[in-house]
Amino acid sequence: MALKKKKDKTNENKTQVLIVDDHPVVRDGLTTIINHQRDMNVCGGDDDAYKALKAIGQLKPDVIIVDISLKNSDGIELTKSIKARHPKLSVIVLSVHDESVYAERALRAGARAYLMKDAVSENIVTAIRTVLSGEIYVSDTISKKILHKLAGDKTEIAKSSIENLSDREFEIFRLIAKGLKASQIAKNLHLSVKTVETYRGRLKEKLNLDSATELLQYAIKWAKSEDRK
């Protein structure tokens, strides 16, 4: 069950943190680490986008920690929604996925930090303090990659086929990798089946694939390679 708390007088002067992750163990672990800080307090936790957006209005957090993969939703799209409704709210995105694929997407969506889950216990407090100071927190690897792009490094500017997908295309690509049919994807994303089919066509074109079967096989192969990282 998602954690819900209200601010009390002993915590009202602390930095309030809302955690959005569909794994209770992760929420509990983050809560323990954050609440151990004298000036921080976890004010609540949820497992999907709808509940999170509602909780933001009720709990007024200073920072929200969002997982990329959520129950019935997507962390990138949730980040966009948060920044549209609450532009001053700092968002930290967590993921088990390859940061070279997801970090820049998260930052473009409005996140102020991106953390791999295998390093979150060591870095989450630093990330919170960094974003509250108005700065961006990413790993040294991603920082160097972005700087190389800004410096005009052609090897970094040249994106892979996957990196070149739009956020919506990438979201549909990930659902295809899970074996979902067009009707299921349409239902999950609140789109028409026709719109999903249009995106599938764009994916085949961008990835240089000839058929829906090839697209499915490519997506599944990509997902397996991500799981091994």
pLDDT number for residue 118: 84
The β-bridge relationship of strands 90-95 and 63-67 is parallel
pLDDT number for residue 157: 42
Cβ-contact 58, 52 below 8 angstroms: no
Give pLDDT tens digits for 122-163: 899 999 999 999 999 988 777 776 666 666 654 444 455 777
pLDDT number for residue 194: 94
Residue 200: both structure tokens together: 């599938």
pLDDT number for residue 148: 62
pLDDT number for residue 98: 67
User: SS3 string of 70-84?
Assistant: ECCEEHHHHHHHHHH
pLDDT number for residue 136: 93
| Residues of the chain under the 70 pLDDT cut | 1-10, 98-100, 145-160, 226-229
pLDDT number for residue 150: 62
pLDDT number for residue 149: 63
Q: What domains sit in the chain, N to C, each tagged with a CATH number? A: 15-147 (3.40.50.2300), 167-227 (1.10.10.10)
Cβ-contact 114, 142 below 8 angstroms: yes
Q: Is pTM beyond 0.75 here?
A: no
pLDDT number for residue 16: 97
Round to whole Å and give the CA distance between 110 and 87: 9
Question: For residues 197, 200, 202 and 204, what is the CA-based torsion angle, rounded to 10 degrees?
Answer: -140
pLDDT number for residue 154: 47
pLDDT number for residue 19: 96
